[in-house]
A and B are shown apart, each in its own frame.
Chain A
Amino acid sequence: MEATAVRRPPAWLAALLPLVLLGALIAVFIALDAPGLERNGIPVEDVSVERTELHPGEIQLTLQNDGPDDVRIVQAIVNDGFASFTQDDDELGRLDRSQVTIAYPWIEGEAYEVALLTSTGGTIDKSIDQAAETPEADAGFYGLMGLIGLYVGIIPIAVGMLWLPWLRQLDRRWLRFLLALTIGLLVFLGIDAALEGLDLGASGAESLGGGALMWLGAALAYLVLAGVDGWLSRRGSGGGERVALLVAIGIGLHNLGEGLVIGSAYAIGSLALGAALVVGFAIHNTTEGLAIVAPVAERPPRVARLALLGAIAGAPAILGAWIGASAFDPSLAAFMFGVGVGAIARVVVQIAPQVRDSAGRLLHPLAAAGLAAGLVLMYVTSLLISV
């Protein structure tokens, strides 16, 4: 018995063997410089502009080389004129990042076309629709972003949650209607976030996956929330409160993405921080408050608990605005939107059973009407906030 144990190698070693072999093969392949595979065709130049900043007399682009070959930036053209520039690194290897700073007396509110000429004569183009100075990330700026988050995230959600006393007096059938409405709201948010995430992914670095990042974020968020849900139910948390918490988390993750977009739009000067936009967000997000309290209408928790739920759902908007304004990256944003989508999908699955009527039907007339009403309501309020 003991002798066999000594003779047989441990199981994990067997699992490791193919990996070791693969590593060795790769090493040999690279050492021999890819035998039999000749580089075909001319170099591919694929550089994305990840970030654009404008400072007085200066246009600053952050580049990432997404292509397989090295790229050298040799000249800069702004609005059909060569301009002086400096750069961190004059040769960008694959996935290298570099900052190009162009000396240019840009004028606020005007449009600019920047073209960076590479050594092969190719151009990397970036258009600036409306030039505006990129805000410095100081305390006042973070304060402003916090205020925006407060306006569009926390306050509207808190207001929406004030529907709770009214919900408590509602007939069971109408509560089901409102839960269906909540699902409609969430489904719309999910679709909206998915499209936004795919857009952002496409504008980001192709080599980092593009739109696939959104789906990755969605799948991971769904799985994590399913796990959290299982953990909560084992700890014996009440059904309604558990659902409300999950709804709050889902909406919170969605608002994180929303904050990200607001912050980055503000940072590049393309956001008109008008009252109309803030009002639009307020109306739009008030419906989110309703979604949180609907599941707990029958057995409402203490006020402190409710406040916590509101914070979970709304506060991420502030965090998102900070991240978006100071370190926006389209690929990261696509992933974050995906996380929001996954969270919402999980929440929808969670709420759905409560919509069933006494006969056990899911899409009974009242539920279908609620669902449709939710979709339409969200669509109409979303028209107020197209950034």
Chain B
Amino acid sequence: MKDGRGKLSRRKLLGGAAGASAVLGLHQVVPHDGLHHAVDEAFAQDGHGGGHDVQGGAGVMQHPMHAGTVGMVDPRANGFDPQLILRDFDEGRVVNGVREWELVAEEKKIEVAPGVSYDAWAYNGRVPGPTLRAREGEHLRIHFTNGATHPHTIHFHGIHTSRMDGIPGLGAGDIPPGETTTYDFHATPFGLHLYHCHSMPLAEHIAKGLYGAFIIDPKQGRPEADELVMVMNGFDTNFDRSNEVYAVNTVAFEYLHRPVVVRRDQLVRIYLVNALEFDLINSFHIHANFFHYFPTGTSLEPTELTDTVIQGQGQRGVLELRFPYEGKYMFHAHVSEFAELGWMGFFEVV
């Protein structure tokens, strides 16, 4: 992350700070979507430097119309891309009628906001961990290896025996570093669930990134839709047991800089999970639209048509909506503090 070349180009940018601030004035009045697309393309190009070189780690102010971070996070350095996490469903593989996954707990430095590195604990090298997806009633086996230096577990929300609960002192209990275990249970009830590490101290093990979404589809399935996974999370980067950075799928303002592209009139289904630690509640609010809400996804009948939903720690639900108009529509936590600290984004309806 700290190679000499990248540093040099940042310094060059500083030299051009006066020019940059002249551009800043224009930025506010001139339509600039093209600019952001140029940034996207720069990411797409397999080339020199990193995200910092594109936008500059310092010296360049951007997005003066919204609160925002300075610079961009390079998804390649992180090894996972929130854009891909959105639609990445891991169905594992079926062996002799049993659906199986391999999960490994690792220690990994990730960039949660431009320039801010965080020593995360991650399942399969990403935060949130892979979105595990099964069908109601299936026999599941999750092979878990602890590749980190602290004991870890995986605790699944769902209905299973106490030995398979993935907490210290029951069944396999804490899995020491280098050891392996297998969690074995059936997929029930259908809905949107959560899995996370349950080792002590609990708040730390969750907050450092050991969590992911766990979807059990109903037997009859759900209507065809563009499906998105959004895990609301946050990071306590200075260890004061409150979060400095908030996000959906880890990177602050990710979808503000690179909006989630959806099609007009198509049914969009959002699997919304609150994995936030330290703060009691989180919320999801959409602009210029309303959605049907299915709490925990355990019923096929929505309970509410709304534009704002609140979730407590560990709570989750399924949202269904269609966008009738093209354009950019903001979505963010209606807890304004979280919104301004990173939990803010756009849908771009095309």
Which residues of A approach B to under 8 Å, CB–CB?
72-77, 80-91, 103, 115, 117-123
Contacts and interface: CB of A to CB of B under 8 A. Distances in A.
Contacts of B11: 90
Residue picked from B61, B70, B118, most chain A C-beta under 10 Å: B70
A90 B70 contact: no
Interface string B49-77: 00000000111111110011111000000
Contacts of A83: 67-68
B68 A119 contact: no
Interface stretch (B79-87, B132-140, B336-344): B336-344
Contacts of A115: 244
Contacts of B252: 82
B10 interface: yes
Contacts of B62: 84
Given A74-B57, A86-B58, 14 more contacts: A77-B341, A80-B337, A80-B341, A81-B341, A83-B67, A84-B61, A86-B21, A86-B59, A88-B14, A89-B14, A90-B11, A103-B64, A120-B237, A121-B118
Contact of A121 (B59, B63, B244): B244
A87 B118 CA distance: 22
Contacts of B281: none
Interface in B214-265: 235, 237-238, 244, 252-253
Contacts of B58: 73-74, 86-87, 90
Interface string B299-331: 000000000000000000000000000000000
Interface stretch (B108-116, B121-129, B161-169): B108-116
Given A82-B342, A122-B238, A75 B70 contact: yes
A121 B116 contact: yes
A119 B61 contact: no
A120 B117 contact: yes
B340 A82 contact: yes
B337 A121 contact: no
20 contacts: A75-B70, A75-B116, A76-B70, A77-B244, A80-B337, A82-B113, A82-B252, A84-B68, A88-B14, A90-B10, A90-B11, A115-B244, A117-B115, A119-B115, A120-B237, A121-B116, A121-B237, A121-B244, A122-B238, A123-B237
Nearest to A78: B67
Given A75-B70, A84-B70, A122 B237 contact: yes
Contacts of B342: 82
A118 B116 CA distance: 7
A211 B241 CA distance: 32
A91 B341 contact: no
Contacts of B59: 86-87, 90
Contact of A74 (B7, B115, B341): B115
B17 interface: yes
B340 A81 contact: yes
A81 B244 contact: no
Nearest to B71: A74
A75 B69 contact: yes
A161 to B, nearest CB: 55
Name the residue in B64, B244, B342 with the highest tally of chain A Cβ atoms < 10 Å from its Cβ.
B244
Nearest to A91: B7
B244 A123 contact: yes
B237 A80 contact: no
Nearest to A118: B116
A328 B68 CA distance: 32
Contacts of A103: 61, 64
B340 A80 contact: yes
Contacts of A77: 244, 341
A85 B116 contact: no
A75 B62 CA distance: 12
Given A90-B10, A103-B61, A117-B237, A81 B337 contact: yes
A378 to B, nearest CB: 42
A73 B60 CA distance: 14
A90 B238 contact: no
A359 to B, nearest CB: 65
A120 B112 CA distance: 11
A73 to B, nearest CB: 8
B179 to A, nearest CB: 27
Contact of A117 (B10, B57, B64, B244): B244
Contacts of B60: 86
